[in-house]
């Protein structure tokens, strides 16, 4: 009996939504297939990708458990479609341009199996920047209180399928970003916490047209949507919300002042000032 228990490995379903990612999707899929935790399935959802990406996915299809093809419906829908067909008790969502280190699943399962109050598991993150200078980012994790202020986990993370079902999955109306943050708020609303493995086991690629970049351009609208959708819990934590908004304004003002003090800004101002003066003369 003890031997059987030691041999038991929970099934992990790794769900990878893909939209026009011919360059990186193979690395992402290989990182899923090469996990040291061997009881897993890999489901790729082609969310209306271009012809180039479809060629790559067709080549990779024999290596994976399932390839689902659909018209473009956005990342939330693609994730929900993949998770609906997943057979595992645990779900790991992975964006198609990112990749995990081989030991992530093995280490995450150990924590899930010994602590049922954990709802989300992430790790330290190696950010792959455009200028090739990488750095390490550490998510905060924590309870719902942390997540009311900001997203304390990465978009690619592990959670139980049963918890995903309880909260109704990802919000498919959120197609401009922050859908993972909103989903995590619902996961943690009734308790539990997000655990961050203190190792750099996830590699996140920062691109000019990434979902995070697009989301930041629509930040105000997305925050408005989240605050209103969850106004009950924000009202119950009103002081926290106000302090967070004021801190955000202070940070933005600080960045604005810092930018005006940069040497490039001062040189540009010095060059433009005479031109503006001449222009004002001709206007008179």
Over residues 133-159, the pLDDT tens digits come to 889 999 999 999 999 999 999 999 999
pLDDT of residue 263: 60
pLDDT of residue 249: 75
Whole-number Å distance between alpha carbons of 220 and 154? 20
Query: What is the mean pLDDT of the segment spanning 9-37?
Result: 97
pLDDT > 90 in the chain, percent: 72
- What is the pTM for the complete model shown? 0.84
Is 283's pLDDT higher than 60? no
Contacts of 208 (CB under 8 A, 6+ apart): 130
| More confidently predicted of 242 and 109 | 109
Is 273's pLDDT higher than 80? no
pLDDT of residue 210: 59
Q: Identify the CATH number of the domain defined by range 2-218.
A: 3.90.550.10
Judge whether 156 and 203 are in contact, CB under 8 Å: no
Whole-number Å distance between alpha carbons of 203 and 100? 6
Over residues 152-172, the pLDDT tens digits come to 999 999 999 999 999 999 999
Judge whether 34 and 103 are in contact, CB under 8 Å: no
Is 109's pLDDT higher than 60? yes
pLDDT of residue 4: 44
Q: At what angle do helices 179-188 and 219-229 cross, to 10 degrees?
A: 20
Over residues 64-107, the pLDDT tens digits come to 999 999 999 999 999 999 999 999 999 999 999 999 999 999 99
pLDDT of residue 1: 41
Whole-number Å distance between alpha carbons of 252 and 236? 26
Q: For residue 5, what pLDDT band results from cuts at 50, 70 and 90?
A: very low
DSSP 142: B
Over residues 194-244, the pLDDT tens digits come to 999 999 999 999 877 656 666 767 888 999 999 999 999 999 988 887 887
Q: What is the mean pLDDT of the chain?
A: 88
Is 276's pLDDT higher than 80? no
Contacts of 160 (CB under 8 A, 6+ apart): 89, 90, 91, 112, 119
Query: What is the mean pLDDT of the segment spanning 115-142?
Result: 93
Is 179's pLDDT higher than 90? yes
């Amino acid at each position: 009996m003890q031997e059987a228990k030691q041999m038991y490995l929970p099934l992990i379903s790794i769900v990878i939504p893909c939209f026009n990612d011919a360059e990186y999707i193979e690395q992402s899929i290989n990182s899923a297939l090469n996990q040291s935790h061997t009881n897993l399935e890999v489901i790729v959802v082609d969310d209306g990708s271009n012809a180039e990406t479809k060629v790559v996915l067709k080549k990779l299809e024999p290596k994976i458990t399932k390839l689902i093809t659909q018209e473009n419906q956005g990342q939330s829908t693609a994730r929900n479609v993949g998770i609906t067909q997943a057979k595992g008790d645990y779900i790991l969502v992975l964006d198609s341009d990112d990749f995990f280190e081989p030991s992530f699943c093995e280490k995450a399962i150990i924590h899930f199996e010994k602590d049922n109050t954990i709802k989300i598991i992430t790790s330290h993150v190696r950010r792959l920047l455009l200028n090739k200078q990488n750095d390490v980012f550490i998510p905060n994790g924590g309870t719902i209180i942390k997540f009311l202020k900001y997203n304390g986990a990465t978009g690619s993370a592990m959670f139980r399928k049963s918890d995903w079902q309880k909260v109704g999955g990802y919000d498919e109306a959120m197609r401009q970003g922050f859908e993972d943050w909103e989903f995590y708020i619902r996961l943690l609303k009734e308790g539990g916490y997000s655990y961050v493995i203190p190792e750099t086991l996830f590699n996140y690629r920062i691109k000019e047209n990434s979902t995070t970049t697009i989301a930041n351009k629509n930040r105000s609208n997305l925050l408005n949507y989240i605050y209103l959708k969850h106004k009950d819990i924000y009202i119950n934590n009103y002081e926290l919300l106000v302090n967070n908004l004021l801190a955000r304004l202070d940070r933005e003002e600080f960045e604005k002042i810092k930018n005006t003090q940069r040497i490039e800004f001062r040189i540009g101002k010095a060059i433009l000032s005479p031109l503006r003066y001449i222009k004002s003369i001709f206007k008179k």
